[in-house]
Amino acid sequence: MQEFWLYFNIGLKHVLDIHAYDHVLFLIALTVPYSFNDWKKLFILVSLFTIGHSLALILSVFGIVYIKENLVEFVIPITILIVAIFNLFSAGKSGKNESITVSAIVTLFFGIIHGLGFSNYFKTILPGNATDKLLPLGEFALGIEAAQIIVVFVVLIISYLVQTVFRFSKRDWTLVMSAFIIGVVVPLIIQSPIWNR
């Protein structure tokens, strides 16, 4: 049980780490167009991220997939940018079926990319062969899922307060937050080490 909490906490801190805010930015971009009524869609999206993240870790642990860290660090902010730009163009429109499909694909992709970015660290904290790492990986995935649900819940509460107390429309709130996220991730893309080649 102690080992479960160890890897669960690593997963929790992996998402909630203030220095790794790219993950939180992605979750904010994913969540702002939705409300509490859309909790099922959001739960599906968050779970897709965890599935993608875990799949990438499994593929990496077994040596099936390896991608250079510079490339991964470059693609992560691009996935955030894609979701934020999609929000700009879809804010206030009623086509939620369309948006969940695009968001689901990008979320799964982001999970895979982010998992590959974390795979080197994950391999170093786990001794033993690849099969010994499957149970800790599951425990780690549960920590990620819990942390993501916390972030989504906080964003939904803030969105609710902004829209009810400060009378922002959902469309305006989505536009403001998406523009803010774009403003944060564009410099990350520009400053990426990938351009130094």
Provide the residue ranges of all domains of the chain, joining segments of one domain with +: 2-15+22-192
CA atoms within 13 A on the CB side of 61: 25
Q: Where are the alpha helices (DSSP H) in 65-192?
A: 69-90, 96-125, 134-164, 170-190
For the four alpha carbons of 100, 102, 103 and 109, in that order, the dihedral sign comes to positive
What are 21-69's pLDDT values in tens digits? 888 999 999 999 999 999 898 999 999 989 998 898 888 877 888 788 8
What are 100-111's pLDDT values in tens digits? 677 788 789 888
pLDDT at 129: 67
